[in-house]
Amino acid sequence: MENALAIMGIDPGGKTGGAQAVFHTDEPTIEAAFKSAMYKQSWTVEGRYRDQIIELNQRWRRFYKECVGIGISPHLVYMCVEDYLDVPFVKSGDPLSPVKIGWGLYGMRIGGLHEWERNNNGPTGPVQIHWQLAGNVKGFAKNDRLKLWGVYKAGKAHECDAWRHVAFRLAEYFRHNASRPVRQTRTPVRFRRNRLPA
């Protein structure tokens, strides 16, 4: 499937929000990409950290397999996760829960790759997770933008945060690809070999 990008965003914590979609990368704006996106869905995972990590990994594997199955290139299926920074004035039950869940998911993915290689299924690529700071993401996609894009979920703060991660990663993809110079055909140049006199 050409001109497609699949993104799963995860906002880990006591209640972990997740969002996923497949975007058309030939759309002119992020708003248009959200409006034409396929397989848009969001969800919340609750429970013990271990249970959340297992469920997130299962959701990721299913999403990845479905995306590659419909023809999206494996390197264009992204996972983005909130990178947690401890802020002293924020109090919560367990301030490190996002770290435990995010890195637990990363470790589970690495373990899955080692198991794949151990069973002689061939080499695998590196585990790619796009770690994103909450401040960058929340500053980019406030509630009014989520409403404009049709992904705002009233009363589902963690799902909204997951959509923010998806939107930020999509914007970064657009920015990165727009900043690349257009590939030009090169004029063939003939080189004359210098021959030593005989």
Is residue 188 one of the residues assigned to a domain? no
pLDDT tens digits, residue range 37-57?
Answer: 999 999 999 988 888 888 888
Q: Quick one: pLDDT at residue 13?
A: 82
How many of the other CB atoms lie within 10 Å of CB of 175? 9
What pLDDT shows up at residue 172?
Answer: 93
- Give Cα 58 distance to the centre of its chain: 15
- Residues of the chain scoring pLDDT < 50: 122-123, 184, 186-187, 189, 191
- 93, part of any domain: yes
Q: Which residues of 61-70 are buried (b: 16+ CB within 10 A; e: fewer)?
A: eebbeebeee
Is residue 164 in a domain? Answer: yes
194 domain-assigned? no
Q: Report the pLDDT value the prediction gives residue 163, as an integer from 0 to 100.
A: 97
Report in angstroms the alpha-carbon separations of 9 from 39, 93, 190.
Answer: 14, 23, 50
Say how far apart CA 150 and CA 118 lie, in whole Å.
Answer: 43
DSSP the chain: -TTEEEEEEEE-SSSEEEEEEEEETTSSSHHHHHHT-EEEEEEEE-S-HHHHHHHHHHHHHHHHHHHHHTT--GGGEEEEEEEP---TT---S-TTHHHHHHHHHHHHHHHHHHHHHHTT---------EEEEHHHHHHHS-HHHHHHHT---TT-HHHHHHHHHHHHHHHHHHHHHHSSPPP-PPPP-PPPPP----
Q: Give residue 191's pLDDT.
A: 47
Which pLDDT value is given to residue 189?
47
Total number of domains in the chain: 1
Specify the CATH number for the domain of residue 12: 3.30.420.140
Query: According to the model, what pLDDT value does residue 187 have?
Result: 47
Residue 118 inside a domain? The answer is yes
Asked whether residue 169 is domain-assigned, the answer is yes
The reply to whether 192 falls in a domain is no
pLDDT at 118: 57
